[in-house]
């Protein structure tokens, strides 16, 4: 186990925000986590678990011990009559893992292509896009408890998945390190094509029964057309969650703004498109210092070059106030603000 000090976290967060970790430990497996737990000084210190850094906003240096999860490996662990069970190390890049499963002939994750970040972060925020969320394909995960050093395997019920939510964002936040995740990819494969952008692709191409590779290519094209590539423009994906309101609240807003994009949910509540609301308030392309609102998708805040965390948060607060002023809705940030 190697302990490093004074490490810049700028290359390790997709927003490209400056911050320094006083202490950083790279975790290549369960033994490294146990090494930290049993360490005379590090064992008692506060910890911060860093995955692909695609869902964090760094506003200050990190006094905590930063555990950078770098567990590797991807493999089929079981083939059942009705599913492939595939496992990946938490440090694997998410998109590369999706591409690998497809290349091996185990489809099912294609709608989640190009989501930035690592496999280990995927259950934390229950990543979702284009009609599928991680919980729909989740089998189980291995984690190491940061108090006891004990390894545990958690199934779906224990993970408390919700919309961009899991037990790792609340009860277990900072308390356990996810080291491996297993996915259940159902057989026979069925495409998930209900999302409007995908229906458009079917219409444009005339392909009504696409292969998994075709869906993967469509998703990559859709995302590239409206979301910034973090390799080129720093960002953390959607900055706010889509708010969920009661049917009464929604009717009230529709009364004033008939155009608002909204989706009724199975439990009777309604999800509102935060991107539409921010756009309607005129935020596209606006900025505070070097933190800006992406021109093609108002839900995404971007680093225009050299932004600092406080600029991002000033911009986020101004957006929240303006959306609240017009719609009476409080937008909740989606990434973890540190
Ligand atoms: N819209 C606008 N203006 C904008 C942005 C959006 O009018 O500036 C409208 C769109 O035209 C559309 C609606 O709002 O009618 C929803 O937009 P979009 O389909 O782009 O999806 P979203 O709700 O903004 C969510 C996820 C994304 C995911 C897409 C596709 C959240 C917080 N975001 O975005 O996830 O890729 O759906 O499934 O749920 C992420 O979490 O980081 C992320 C990118």
User: What pLDDT, on the 0 to 100 scale, is given for residue 35?
Assistant: 96
Q: What is the mean pLDDT of residues 42-48?
A: 94
Task: Please name the residue whose Cα sits nearest to atom 23 of ligand 1.
Answer: 273
CATH fold group of domain 74-186: 3.30.465
Q: 212 C-alpha vs ligand 1 centroid, how far in Å?
A: 22
pLDDT confidence tier of residue 288, bands split at 50, 70 and 90: very high
Contact yes or no for 141/154 (Cβ under 8 A): yes
Testing ligand 1's pocket by substitution, the residue of 57, 113, 238, 284 carrying the most ligand atoms inside 8 A of its CB is 238
Q: What is the mean pLDDT of residues 45-69?
A: 96
Testing ligand 1's pocket by substitution, the residue of 275, 276, 300, 335 carrying the most ligand atoms inside 8 A of its CB is 275
Q: What is the mean pLDDT of residues 302-308?
A: 97
Distance separating alpha carbons of residues 126 and 112, to the nearest angstrom: 11
Q: Is 334 in the pocket of ligand 1 (CB under 6 A)?
A: yes
Q: Is 241 in the pocket of ligand 1 (CB under 6 A)?
A: yes
User: What pLDDT, on the 0 to 100 scale, is given for residue 276?
Assistant: 98
Helices 212-226, 94-103: axis angle to 10 degrees equals 160
User: What pLDDT, on the 0 to 100 scale, is given for residue 4?
Assistant: 97
Q: Where do the domains of the chain lie?
A: 2-69, 74-186, 234-337
pLDDT confidence tier of residue 198, bands split at 50, 70 and 90: very high
Testing ligand 1's pocket by substitution, the residue of 162, 221, 282, 299 carrying the most ligand atoms inside 8 A of its CB is 299
Query: Which CATH number fits the domain 234-337, given the four candidates 3.10.20.10, 3.30.43.10, 3.90.78.10, 3.20.20.150?
Result: 3.90.78.10
Q: Convert the chain into a string of H (helix), E (strand) and C (coil).
A: CCEEEEEECHHHCCCCCCCEEEEEEEECCHHHHHHHHHCCCCCCCCEEEECCCCCEECCCCEEEEEEEECCCCEEEEEEECCEEEEEEECCCEHHHHHHHHHHCCCCCCHHHCCCCCECCCCCCCCCEECCEEHHHHEEEEEEEECCCCCEEEEEHHHHCCECCECHHHCCCCCCEEEEEEEEEEECCCCCCCCCHHHHHHHHHHCCCCCCHHHHHHHHHHHHHHHCCCCCCCEEEEECECCCEECHHHHHHHHHHCCCCCEEECCCCCEEECHHHHHHHCCCCCCEECCEEECCCCCCEEEECCCCCHHHHHHHHHHHHHHHHHHHCCCCCECCEEC
Task: Please name the residue whose Cα sits nearest to atom 10 of ligand 1.
Answer: 276
Q: Is 237 in the pocket of ligand 1 (CB under 6 A)?
A: yes
User: What percent of the chain lies above the pLDDT cut of 90?
Assistant: 98
Q: Is 303 in the pocket of ligand 1 (CB under 6 A)?
A: no
Contact yes or no for 193/146 (Cβ under 8 A): no
Residues annotated as catalytic (active site), given as ranges: 164, 238, 334
Q: What is the CATH number of domain 2-69?
A: 3.30.43.10
- Closest ligand 1 atom to the C-alpha of 163? 39
pLDDT confidence tier of residue 330, bands split at 50, 70 and 90: very high
Chain-wide mean pLDDT for the chain? 96
> Is the pLDDT assigned to residue 2 strictly greater than 90?
no
Q: What pTM was estimated for this model as a whole?
A: 0.94
């Amino acid at each position: 186990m190697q302990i490093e000090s004074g490490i810049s976290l700028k290359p390790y967060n997709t927003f490209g925000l400056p911050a320094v970790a006083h202490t950083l430990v790279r975790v290549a497996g369960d033994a490294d986590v146990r090494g930290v737990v049993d360490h005379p000084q590090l064992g008692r210190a506060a910890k911060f678990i860093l995955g692909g850094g695609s869902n964090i906003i760094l506003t200050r240096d990190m006094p905590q011990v930063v555990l950078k999860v770098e567990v590797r490996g991807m493999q089929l662990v079981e083939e059942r009559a009705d599913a492939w069970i595939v496992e990946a190390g938490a440090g694997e890049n998410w998109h590369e893992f999706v591409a690998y499963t497809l290349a091996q002939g185990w489809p099912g994750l294609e709608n989640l292509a190009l989501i930035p970040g690592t496999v280990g972060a995927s259950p934390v925020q229950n990543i979702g896009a284009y009609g599928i969320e991680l919980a729909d394909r989740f089998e189980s995960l291995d984690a190491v408890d940061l108090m006891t050093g004990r390894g545990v395997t958690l199934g779906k019920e224990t993970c408390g998945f919700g919309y961009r939510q899991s037990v790792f964002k609340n009860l277990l936040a900072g308390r356990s390190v996810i080291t491996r995740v297993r996915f259940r990819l159902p057989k026979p494969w069925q495409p998930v094509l209900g999302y409007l952008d995908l229906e458009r692709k079917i219409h444009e191409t005339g392909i009504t029964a696409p292969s998994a590779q075709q869906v993967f290519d469509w998703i990559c094209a859709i995302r590239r057309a409206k979301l910034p590539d973090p390799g080129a423009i720093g960002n953390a994906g959607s900055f706010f969650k889509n708010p969920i309101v009661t049917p009464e609240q929604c009717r009230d807003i529709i009364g004033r703004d008939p155009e608002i994009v909204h989706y009724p949910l199975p439990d009777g509540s309604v999800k509102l498109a935060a991107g539409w609301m921010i756009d309607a308030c005129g935020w596209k392309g606006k900025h505070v210092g070097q933190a800006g609102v992406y021109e093609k998708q108002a839900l995404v805040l971007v680093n225009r070059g050299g932004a600092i965390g406080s600029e991002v948060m000033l911009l986020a607060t101004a957006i929240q106030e303006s959306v609240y002023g017009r719609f009476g809705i409080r937008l909740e940030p989606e990434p973890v603000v540190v």
